[in-house]
Amino acid sequence: MNTNNQKMSSRRFAKTSAGNAAEKLISRQVMEKDDFVALLGDFGNQETGKRLKEEALRLRTQYYGRQVFARGLIEFTNYCKNNCHYCGIRGANRNAARYRLSQKEILECCREGYRLGFRTFVLQGGEDPFYTDEKMAAIVREIKRRYPDCALTLSLGERTRESYRLLREAGADRYLLRHETADEAHYRLLHPAGMSLENRRRCLYNLKSLGYQVGAGMMVGSPGQTLWCLAEDLLFLQRLQPQMVGLGPFIPHHDTCFATEAPGSVELTLYLLSIVRILLPGVLLPATTALGTLDPCGREKGLLAGANVVMPNLSPLKNRKQYELYDDKACTGEEAAECLGCLKQRVEDAGFTLVSGRGDARQL
């Protein structure tokens, strides 16, 4: 969705029911697609933006006080059998220098993370068949054996229900699987044949039914995205009621089909973070690295818009640059401890407190 379109839509919808849509959201009524369209069409209207941001902050304070949860992100493989058109580690990218972490290396990341105070670890990777259910379950079991007080989040992409069941049984608590877009045609534009929105949705519902705390989400400003796609995303989130939502701007990667596309808008991402906080008040909502990549103060702005999670990188320093989903990814060159110290300060400067602890989603 380019900026001109956004402005045009903004004017068009501002005349209709945008203000009403914001009030409807704030009064916690069930939103229809048209309500979301009107709300998104009002992006750029300062009054609505201010109203939503204030309400988002009020709710995040009601649910979580000033706390910001830190998750230790371990990017353990950049091999991927998929070919998502937007992603730098897509299987067809011959220029990606591939790596995999052994169980020992993953455990070493956790050891360092635990020492630094992390109590949630997020294991994220491309869809790498090397990590069979048996291998993955063994890793999960060992992490949970060593750190029973920690929550373990997996983000391994689409797997079978049986695979999710085994990993849950092994001790995994949470699973992040962004739906990417809830609009069928847009999904097909972003992904090759063979991948489907239907399967993505099925995976999310499977995860939910197995008792995982589930995270869905989307990129903001991905090629071909319209206001209607985003309205569909919000509708999907309203239906799914996930405990976590991953929401960050799209950023082009030079070795993908979308190399020359414009990045997503930081402002629109912030607007959406506020909307999601109001829609799902108890949600765990990261201020993403992508937001921090496009704007040096992006993560702080994300927290002030309603986010309450940050995910510093715990991957070995030598591999960080190789997990290159998009160009100029932030925080690939610092030691975990250094990165955490600086982040703690920045979170405090924004008026929040970085806390360790599992930080599960809250319901009031």
> Which amino acid does the sequence have at 68?
V
Rule CB under 6 A: say whether 221 interacts with ligand SAM.
no
Distance CA 100, CA 281 (A): 37
**Which of 297, 279, 278 has the alpha carbon at shortest distance from 287?**
297
To ligand SAM, the closest distance from the beta carbon of 24 in angstroms equals 28
Distance CA 188, CA 149 (A): 41
- Give the number of other CB atoms < 10 A from CB of residue 262: 14
SS3 content of the chain, % helix, strand, coil (to 5): 45, 15, 40
Main-chain dihedrals φ then ψ at residue 96, nearest 5 degrees: -75, 130
Rule CB under 6 A: say whether 255 interacts with ligand SAM.
no
Q: What token pair was written down for 63?
A: 């649910």
Rule CB under 6 A: say whether 109 interacts with ligand SAM.
no
**Which of 17, 22, 4, 8 has the alpha carbon at shortest distance from 271?**
22
Which is closer to ligand SAM, CB of 300 or CB of 324? 324
Q: Segment near ligand SAM (CB under 6 A), from 20-28, 47-55, 84-92, 350-358?
A: 84-92
To ligand SAM, the closest distance from the beta carbon of 273 in angstroms equals 15
What character string, x for contact with ligand SAM (CB under 6 A) and - otherwise, covers 258-297? Answer: --------------------------------x-------
What is the four-CA torsion angle of 230, 233, 234, 236, rounded to 10 degrees? 160
Q: Are 55 and 85 in contact (CB under 8 A)?
A: no
Distance CA 39, CA 120 (A): 34
Site for ligand SAM in 128-157 (CB under 6 A): 155, 157
Where does the chain have alpha helices with state H?
Answer: 3-14, 18-26, 33-41, 46-64, 103-116, 133-146, 161-170, 184-190, 197-209, 227-240, 266-279, 289-294, 298-305, 317-320, 336-349
Which is closer to ligand SAM, CB of 59 or CB of 284? 284
Q: Segment near ligand SAM (CB under 6 A), from 16-24, 134-142, 248-256, 275-283?
A: 248-256
Question: Which member of 13, 43, 69, 86 binds ligand SAM (CB under 6 A)?
Answer: 86
Question: Which member of 191, 253, 301, 320 binds ligand SAM (CB under 6 A)?
Answer: 253
Rule CB under 6 A: say whether 163 interacts with ligand SAM.
no
> Which amino acid does the sequence have at 3?
T
How far apart, in Å, do the first and last CA atoms of the chain sit? 36
DSSP 304-321: HHT--EE--B-S-HHHHT
Question: Which member of 325, 336, 339, 347 binds ligand SAM (CB under 6 A)?
Answer: 325
Rule CB under 6 A: say whether 179 interacts with ligand SAM.
no
Question: Which member of 70, 251, 257, 273 binds ligand SAM (CB under 6 A)?
Answer: 251
Question: Which member of 126, 215, 306, 312 binds ligand SAM (CB under 6 A)?
Answer: 126
Residue nearest ligand SAM, CB atom distance? 157
Q: Are 273 and 246 in contact (CB under 8 A)?
A: no
To ligand SAM, the closest distance from the beta carbon of 208 in angstroms equals 16
- Give the number of other CB atoms < 10 A from CB of residue 109: 24
Question: Which member of 9, 124, 225, 322 binds ligand SAM (CB under 6 A)?
Answer: 124
Which is closer to ligand SAM, CB of 49 or CB of 248? 248
Which is closer to ligand SAM, CB of 188 or CB of 362? 188
Rule CB under 6 A: say whether 83 interacts with ligand SAM.
no
Main-chain dihedrals φ then ψ at residue 316, nearest 5 degrees: -55, 140
Q: Segment near ligand SAM (CB under 6 A), from 48-56, 103-111, 121-129, 271-279?
A: 121-129
Which is closer to ligand SAM, CB of 260 or CB of 363? 260
Which is closer to ligand SAM, CB of 58 or CB of 208? 208
Q: What token pair was written down for 16?
A: 């209709």
Q: Segment near ligand SAM (CB under 6 A), from 119-127, 146-154, 185-193, 337-345?
A: 119-127
Rule CB under 6 A: say whether 127 interacts with ligand SAM.
yes
Instruction: Give contact residues for ligand SAM (rule: CB under 6 A).
Output: 86-87, 89, 124, 126-127, 155, 157, 177-178, 180, 219, 248, 250-251, 253, 290, 325-326
